[in-house]
Amino acid sequence: MAKKRRPETPAAVVENPWPLRAQAFVEKHSFALFLALVTIASVRIALTYTVFNHTVDEPAHIACGMEWLNRGTYGYEAQHPPLARIMTAVFPRLDGAHSWNRPLMYNEGAAILYTDDKYDRTLALARLGILPFFWLASAVVYLWTRRWFGPLAAFFAALAFTFLPSALAHGGLATTDMALTATFGAAFFAMLVWIEKPTWPRVALFGAAIGISILSKFSVLVFFPASAAVAAVCYVLFERPSAARVFAELKARIPQLALALLVACLIIWAGYRFSFDKVNDPPMFGGNEGSRAAVFRRHPRSAGHNRLGNPGYLLGEYKETGWWYYYPVVLSVKTPIAMLALLGVGLAVGWKRRRESPAYWIPAAFALGILLVGAFSRINIGVRHVLPVYLAFSVLAGVGAEWLWRTRRVWVLAVLVLWMMATSALAHPDYLAYFNAFAGDEPSKVLIDSDLDWGQDMKRLSARLREVGATEVAFDPFIIAHLEAVHGFPPIKPLDPRYPLPGWNAVSLTMLKLDRLGLKGHPELQPWPERTTPTERVGKSVWLYYVPPRR
């Protein structure tokens, strides 16, 4: 990559001492400000740990990680690698939690969470294991931006990422998505640093980062090549190197690439306890199939999952094979509008300066590669599956913010930054269910599942039912949980999809929009909540109805 560009401060700015002094302060204390931003974000994340109950996938990840730690095997599910799952189980294990050998991973995870009346504590400890990945993702954004655009842009990029609701949401859940974001970003950044100056230590670090990213989530096996391929195409288009030069550089780097591959393989092998024989798919996932080869080519169950598709919902439409435009729509409504504006400025600046340095177009290439993969994906269940794009978006937002600063549009920048920060603050603690104004007053008409209702509001629903004195509730929960025994629910009876039952009826938006309360196979029938105004909304994801008893 070409040497980083450090634009000189225009003379017009020099005439105004206030912007110049502020700029000098930020540049001098950029790293300290970055640490302050990460600390603030970490506190905000930690404050959500006990607000929400576990989401749908968290018990399964905790169960798999606990199995690896406690039993030395990895047999519940090989569709996902173990690293993030191990991290969700480390602190609960240190606190005394252990495996229960339940046959299904979701039940095993529930058993771990509900042991010894320590539900909130165990869940918080599991979520705490993901926080280091949020720190790593933030560091990638800061270091990437600082290396090629300077400390001022790096500060604004870090601010954008650490105030991003989706990053705060998935940085606070015991799942694999923030782990993928952090480690994939670190691997791509390590590759850029190595390409800039190909030394043996740098290529070893690149190989280690690749190995760790593969251990985090198998999605990297398609995301990384796609982003690298888009970057290579852009390199040819914008830099126009000769074929002889390209082949000469590739040939010179083959030995170092071999080392990177070796380091990556060793790390992956270590992640599976130096034995892939202990990795199986249990009967619930289709038989006892060994997974040696699966580690180096996305697990066959993952590929099969994508071929078969997954129930999805977008703009009022149900589909099992996905939409090519799903993720652009998701990003347009799940990203703060102020950040979208800064991203737009950053893209414009990057395009204008694309021939000055590859640094200006590489973040866009990184994001585009991920979105191209997403366009062909049949699993459309939330922004979390393309969460790494926000690393590049934040870098570009930092570039846009710096340009606004240096071109004396300081007040425009101040409005956008304050708007973004206020949006994020007002979203607390419901970062998972955050939508911008483009989604309208009813986001469930646009998206559901892990973007809105991942089963996270059961504690709130329980508290509200106690407040109104409910003696029973009709409800079909979206998660496996001990709602009556632990969370204080009154007796639960099944919802009738045709008409509301007398008394209290609670409706999960995902169960309504995705499953149609059990009427998915009967398009001629309409579930009653679709034609009835709810009495109130509990949290962001549950509609609550009260129907007076019949006389």
Residue 304, CA atoms < 13 Å, CB-side half-sphere:
8
**Can you tell me the distance from the alpha carbon of 519 to that of 361, in angstroms, rounded to the nearest whole number?**
48
The mean predicted confidence, pLDDT, of the chain is 90
pLDDT for 292: 35
Q: What is the DSSP track for 97-152?
A: ------SSHHHHHHHHHTGGG-HHHHHHHHHHTTHHHHHHHHHHHHHHHHHHH-HH
**pLDDT tens profile 153-197:** 999 999 999 999 999 999 999 999 999 999 999 999 999 999 999
**Can you tell me the distance from the alpha carbon of 85 to that of 89, in angstroms, rounded to the nearest whole number?**
7
**pLDDT tens profile 149-165:** 999 999 999 999 999 99
Indicate the range of 76-80, 301-305, 536-540 predicted with least confidence: 301-305
CB 254 within 8 A of CB 260: no
Both tokens assigned to 190? 């390590």
Which DSSP state fits 74?
B
Supply φ then ψ for residue 499, to 5 degrees.
Answer: -155, 155
pLDDT at residue 13 above 50? no
Of the pLDDT bands very low, low, confident and very high (cuts 50, 70, 90), residue 291 is: very low
**Can you tell me the distance from the alpha carbon of 492 to that of 433, in angstroms, rounded to the nearest whole number?**
25
CB 380 within 8 A of CB 310: yes
Where are the domains positioned within the chain? Answer: 11-46+131-427, 58-128, 457-547
- 55, 313, 383, 473 from 515: Cα distances, Å: 18, 10, 20, 20
- Of the candidates 88, 44, 33, the residue with the CA atom closest to the CA atom of residue 66: 88
Whether the bond into 429 is cis, omega within 30 of 0:
yes
**pLDDT tens profile 124-144:** 999 999 999 999 999 999 999
Element (H, E) at 196: helix 177-196
Instruction: Tell me the pTM.
Output: 0.91
**pLDDT tens profile 417-430:** 999 999 999 999 99
Tell me, rounded to whole angstroms, the distance of Cα 237 from its chain centroid.
31
pLDDT for 549: 86
12: how many CB neighbours lie within 10 A of its CB?
Answer: 11
pLDDT at residue 410 above 90? yes
Name the residue with higher pLDDT: 358 or 291. Answer: 358
pLDDT for 493: 95
pLDDT for 454: 96
Rounded to an integer, the average pLDDT of 92-117 is 94
**pLDDT tens profile 144-153:** 999 999 999 9
DSSP three-state, residue 474: strand
**Can you tell me the distance from the alpha carbon of 519 to that of 525, in angstroms, rounded to the nearest whole number?**
7
Indicate the range of 331-345, 390-404, 488-502 predicted with least confidence: 488-502
pLDDT for 274: 84
Of the pLDDT bands very low, low, confident and very high (cuts 50, 70, 90), residue 304 is: low
Q: Which residue has the tokens 């230590």?
A: 201
- Of the candidates 400, 372, 369, 370, the residue with the CA atom closest to the CA atom of residue 387: 370
pLDDT at residue 283 above 50? no
Rounded to an integer, the average pLDDT of 340-357 is 95
Of the pLDDT bands very low, low, confident and very high (cuts 50, 70, 90), residue 308 is: low
% of residues, the chain, pLDDT over 70: 91
- 83, 86, 510 from 104: Cα distances, Å: 20, 18, 23
**pLDDT tens profile 224-270:** 999 999 999 999 999 888 888 888 888 888 999 999 999 999 999 99
